[in-house]
């Protein structure tokens, strides 16, 4: 089974002549779009690469799931990549990231090894959680990636705790916490927001609003669909942004990070997005709770196409370069698959390790 | 040796550990300005300041999660629940996060933290405030569960709990806070997972923990007057449980009564009896009996509450039954 062709990342627009590029054949220089400010062409290609890697990786996950190489619950990130890439591109290595169970894309964007992520999904010893966590529980201490949490909203207070620790140590890191829009109806979210604001904790709470909590549309779950308004209830800054536009994500993060590092204040950000796959691998992509038309309409705003088109129209990306970046992403996903497939299962004696730590302070 | 209340022994342990390690902090409802709902944290705000003695809103789920997050990145939180009844609201953080993160991260993120507060019934607080939770919590791999019954154990076990790199559930007793006992000064550590034989006798073993230790000691005194001498095995820790200490005692006395504050079904005693039947099958001269709360929510009326609770009379009756004296 191949899912790759479902997402036409390099279909449009058609190749333009080289003259359309910066410093094109005729020597004229095109005006750079304002949103490109703050990034170099190389960095923009890195953003594109990061998003394509997540896309191609997740496509392989769908394939591996169908083959039985990945088990359990498996929630793919396809359609939401501008958020993970945009956010991670703005924070520092010593900052902290914590997320829910739709975590593959965020782990990759954060810099967790694709091999270690795929090996974890395959349940192998070389996985980033030693094969004990699986899809919903990716952890990586090297990149301060604090998981992969499976209970909706349960990790939001934990993010406040990380913020508390930063404040306790008088550090200037931030903690970024991702969750879906359905989590705003659970108590843990409200308790965490109250504490983060009350205590001036440097936490950035990011609602990835993909409009469905599993199969329940936000209109059927949430009395006020303007979810970011909940920031007001906690005397917190709140902003809403187009989560399909990596530059918009980066821009809102600039302000939130500044607020967290300098003013030690939390921010609630709603990033509007759409998931192109089902809630999990056992969920139909469309037909039960959303129509095919709605899906197709939203897929027109594929975050990768949005970025690709901007770069293409600015004349800094040819279709050949796009293909090269895409091929690289595919090769990394393939390498991750091969590594995972060749890795051993955890030895049985690991069943009993890591229940308790032996050490005491 | 100084004679201290259980409460003061806990305060001493907190103070010494806060002095010893600046990663240790205490958070919970009313722990700072109010000096603790049960005054266990009395004086600590003045000594350590508001960053380390942290008043929280009434938000158990929220601040338990804050503790988990802080522990995950290297602090050593002590999370106080005003009572464990309120901690039910926070169980997702205790069970799903604190207990499991070390395992599901493949050993990358330790959880050096303590959840503590009073557990079990006090007097006439009725159904929602009178519950003993140790069997629920001891069920969970990844947690350690401590149930000190004396001031010395309260101090020694709390110091061990704070120094442990795992999430430790520390169950105190509202009715124990004013009880007194000798407590060693300074570095007094009681190891986790080690029971203590609090009274020696040959006729029957009473295996118990927490608040019921006092009941068992009273029973031992009363029965001694009748010429019946019992072993009182104080488990002190109910996860991990000291199976060897249980076996040693039962192999000596050949009879056992298991006494606990909680309910019968799936109670701590069920587990102890399971260990006994596995380890001491050939040693037993009588079926093991259990003493526990009656199988009802705790009633308010004084007489009904008294009837619902396990007590010395019920324990003596059980001991006489396993000795075929009744």
Express each pLDDT in A163-188 by its tens digit: 999 999 999 999 999 999 999 999 99
Least Cα distance to A311 among A4, A88, A39 occurs for A39
Residue B123 and residue B9 share a domain:
yes
Separation of alpha carbons A339 and A343, rounded Å: 6
**A–B CB contacts, 8 A cutoff, strictly below:** 157
Residue spans of chain A under pLDDT 70: 1-30
Residue B8 and residue B88 share a domain:
yes
Q: Which of residues 147-206 of B touch A (CB under 8 A)?
A: 160, 163-166
Q: Respond yes or no on whether the N-terminal peptide bond of residue A234 is cis (omega within 30° of 0).
A: no
- Which alpha helices (DSSP H) does A122-245 contain, by range? 156-168, 187-198, 218-221
Residues of B in contact with A133 (CB under 8 A): 104-106
pLDDT of res. A25: 42
Q: Give yes or no: B209 in active site.
A: no
Candidates B105, B111, B165: best to mutate against A (most CBs of A within 10 A) is: B105
Residue B188 lies in a domain: no
Residue B191 lies in a domain: no
Separation of alpha carbons B87 and B94, rounded Å: 9
Count of C-beta atoms within a 10 Å radius of residue B316? 21
- With H, G, I as helix, E, B as strand and everything else as coil, classify residue B179: coil
Mark B64-97 as b/e (b = at least 16 C-beta within 10 Å): bbbbbbbbbbebbbbbbbbbbbbbebbbbbbbbb
Residue spans of chain B under pLDDT 70: none
Closest chain A C-alpha to B309 CA, distance in angstroms = 34
Asked whether the beta carbons of A78 and A59 are under 8 A apart, the reply is: yes
Separation of alpha carbons A39 and A35, rounded Å: 9
Residue B189 lies in a domain: no
Separation of alpha carbons A149 and A159, rounded Å: 11
Q: Give yes or no: B129 in active site.
A: yes
pLDDT of res. A30: 63
Cα A83 to Cα A51, A106, A154, A236, distances in angstroms:
9, 9, 21, 21
Predicted ipTM? 0.97
pLDDT of res. A4: 46
Residue B210 and residue B167 share a domain:
no
Helix (H) or strand (E) run with residue A85 in it: helix A81-88
Final residue of a structural domain among B150, B183, B216: B183
Instruction: Determine whether the interchain pair A164/B102 forms a contact, defined as Cβ–Cβ distance below 8 Å.
Output: no
Catalytic: which of B60, B80, B93, B261? B60
Residue of B nearest to A136 (CA): B104
pLDDT of res. A359: 75
Residue B99 lies in a domain: yes
The phi, psi pair for A259, rounded to 5°, reads: -60, -40
CA atoms lying within 13 Å on the CB side of residue A139:
24
Residue B215 and residue B148 share a domain:
no
pLDDT of res. A15: 45
Residue of A nearest to B63 (CA): A157
Residue B163 and residue B46 share a domain:
yes
Residues of A in contact with B102 (CB under 8 A): 354-357
Closest chain B C-alpha to A353 CA, distance in angstroms = 8
Total domains in the fold of chain B: 2
Instruction: Determine whether the interchain pair B69/A354 forms a contact, defined as Cβ–Cβ distance below 8 Å.
Output: no
Separation of alpha carbons B117 and B131, rounded Å: 13
CB nearest to B92's CB, from A154, A162, A361 = A154
CB nearest to A139's CB, from B59, B108, B160 = B108
Tens digit of each residue's pLDDT (9 = 90 or more) over B136-184: 999 999 999 999 999 999 999 999 999 999 999 999 999 999 999 999 9
Residue B23 and residue B81 share a domain:
yes
Separation of alpha carbons A6 and A27, rounded Å: 38
CATH number at residue B149: 3.40.50.970
Please list, in sequence order, all residues whose beta carbon lies within 8 angstroms of the beta carbon of residue A158, skipping any fewer than 6 positions away: A98, A146, A149, B65, B66, B68, B69, B72, B93, B97
Catalytic: which of B129, B196, B279, B294? B129
The whole domain housing B209 covers: 196-322
CATH number at residue B289: 3.40.50.920
Residue B151 Cα to chain centre, angstroms: 12
Residue B47 and residue B85 share a domain:
yes
Residue B159 and residue B206 share a domain:
no
Please list, in sequence order, all residues whose beta carbon lies within 8 angstroms of the beta carbon of residue B248, skipping any fewer than 6 positions away: none
pLDDT of res. A282: 85
pLDDT of res. A29: 59
Q: Respond yes or no on whether the N-terminal peptide bond of residue A13 is cis (omega within 30° of 0).
A: yes
Length of chain B (residues): 326
Residue B264 and residue B177 share a domain:
no
Residues of A in contact with B25 (CB under 8 A): 168
Please list, in sequence order, all residues whose beta carbon lies within 8 angstroms of the beta carbon of residue B244, skipping any fewer than 6 positions away: none
Instruction: Determine whether the interchain pair B62/A150 forms a contact, defined as Cβ–Cβ distance below 8 Å.
Output: no
pLDDT of res. A352: 97
Tens digit of each residue's pLDDT (9 = 90 or more) over A87-103: 999 999 999 999 999 99
Residue B161 and residue B47 share a domain:
yes
Candidates A103, A137, A160, A161: best to mutate against B (most CBs of B within 10 A) is: A161
Going along chain A from its start, the domains and CATH numbers come out as: 38-337 (3.40.50.970)
Residue B190 lies in a domain: no
- With H, G, I as helix, E, B as strand and everything else as coil, classify residue A270: strand
Residue B164 and residue B206 share a domain:
no
CB nearest to B165's CB, from A154, A355, A360 = A360
Asked whether the beta carbons of B220 and B232 are under 8 A apart, the reply is: yes
Residue B306 and residue B224 share a domain:
yes
Final residue of a structural domain among B115, B150, B183: B183
Final residue of a structural domain among B151, B183, B215: B183
């Amino acid at each position: 089974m191949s899912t790759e062709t479902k997402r036409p990342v390099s279909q449009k627009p058609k190749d333009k002549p080289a003259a359309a590029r910066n410093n094109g054949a005729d020597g004229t220089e095109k005006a750079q779009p304002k949103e490109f400010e703050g990034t170099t062409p190389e960095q923009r290609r890195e953003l594109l690469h990061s998003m394509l890697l997540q896309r191609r990786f997740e496509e392989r996950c769908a394939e591996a799931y169908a083959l039985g190489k990945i088990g359990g619950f498996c929630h793919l990130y396809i359609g939401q990549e501008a958020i993970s890439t945009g956010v991670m591109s703005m924070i520092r290595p010593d900052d902290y990231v914590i997320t829910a169970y739709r975590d593959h894309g965020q782990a990759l964007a954060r810099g967790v090894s694709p091999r270690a992520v795929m090996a974890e999904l395959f349940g192998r010893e070389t996985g980033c959680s030693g094969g004990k966590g699986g899809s919903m529980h990716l952890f990586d201490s090297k990149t301060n990636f604090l998981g992969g949490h499976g209970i909706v909203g349960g990790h939001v207070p934990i993010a406040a705790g990380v913020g508390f620790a930063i404040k306790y140590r008088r550090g200037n890191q931030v903690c970024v916490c991702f969750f879906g829009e359905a989590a705003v109806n659970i108590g843990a979210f409200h308790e965490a927001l109250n504490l983060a604001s009350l205590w001036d904790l440097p936490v950035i709470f990011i609602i990835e609003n993909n409009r469905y909590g599993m199969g329940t549309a936000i209109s059927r779950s949430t009395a006020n669909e303007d979810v970011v308004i909940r920031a007001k209830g906690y005397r917190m800054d709140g902003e809403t942004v187009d989560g399909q536009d990596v530059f918009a994500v980066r821009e809102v993060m600039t302000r939130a990070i500044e607020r967290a590092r300098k003013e030690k204040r939390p921010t609630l950000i709603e990033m509007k997005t759409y998931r192109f796959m089902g809630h999990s691998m056992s969920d139909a992509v469309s037909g039960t709770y959303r129509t095919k038309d709605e899906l197709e309409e939203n897929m027109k705003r594929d975050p990768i196409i949005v970025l690709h088109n901007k770069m293409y129209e600015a004349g800094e990306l040819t279709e050949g370069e796009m293909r090269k970046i895409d091929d690289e992403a595919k090769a990394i996903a393939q390498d991750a698959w091969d590594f995972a497939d060749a890795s051993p299962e955890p030895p049985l004696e690991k069943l009993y390790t890591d229940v308790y730590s032996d050490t005491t302070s | 040796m100084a004679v201290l209340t259980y409460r003061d022994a806990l305060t001493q342990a907190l103070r010494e550990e806060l002095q010893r390690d600046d990663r240790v902090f205490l958070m919970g409802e009313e722990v700072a300005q109010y000096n603790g709902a049960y005054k266990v944290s009395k004086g600590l705000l003045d000594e350590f300041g508001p960053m380390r003695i942290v008043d929280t809103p009434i938000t158990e789920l929220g601040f338990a999660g804050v503790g988990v997050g802080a522990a995950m990145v290297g602090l050593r939180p002590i999370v106080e629940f005003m009572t464990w009844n309120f901690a039910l609201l926070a169980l997702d953080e205790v069970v799903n996060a604190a207990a499991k993160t070390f395992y599901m991260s493949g050993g990358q993120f330790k959880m050096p933290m303590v959840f503590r507060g009073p557990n079990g019934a006090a007097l006439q607080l009725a159904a929602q405030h009178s519950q003993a939770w140790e069997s629920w919590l001891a069920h969970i791999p990844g947690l350690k569960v401590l149930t000190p019954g004396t001031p010395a154990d309260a101090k020694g076990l709390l110091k061990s709990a704070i120094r442990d790199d795992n999430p430790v559930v520390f169950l105190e007793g509202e009715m124990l806070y004013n009880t007194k006992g000798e407590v060693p000064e300074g570095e007094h550590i009681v190891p986790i997972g080690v029971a203590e034989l609090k009274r020696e006798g040959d006729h029957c073993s009473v295996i118990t923990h927490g608040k019921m230790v006092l009941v068992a000691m009273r029973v031992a005194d009363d029965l001694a007057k009748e010429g019946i001498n019992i072993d009182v095995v104080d488990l002190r820790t109910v996860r991990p449980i000291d199976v060897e200490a249980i076996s040693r005692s039962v192999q000596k006395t050949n009879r056992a009564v298991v006494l606990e504050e909680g309910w019968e079904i799936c109670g701590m005693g069920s587990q102890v009896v399971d260990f006994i039947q596995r380890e001491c099958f050939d040693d037993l001269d009588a079926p093991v009996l259990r003493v526990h709360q009656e199988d009802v929510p705790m009633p308010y009326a004084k007489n009904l509450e008294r009837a619902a609770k396990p007590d010395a009379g019920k324990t003596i009756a059980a001991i006489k039954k396993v000795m075929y004296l009744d």
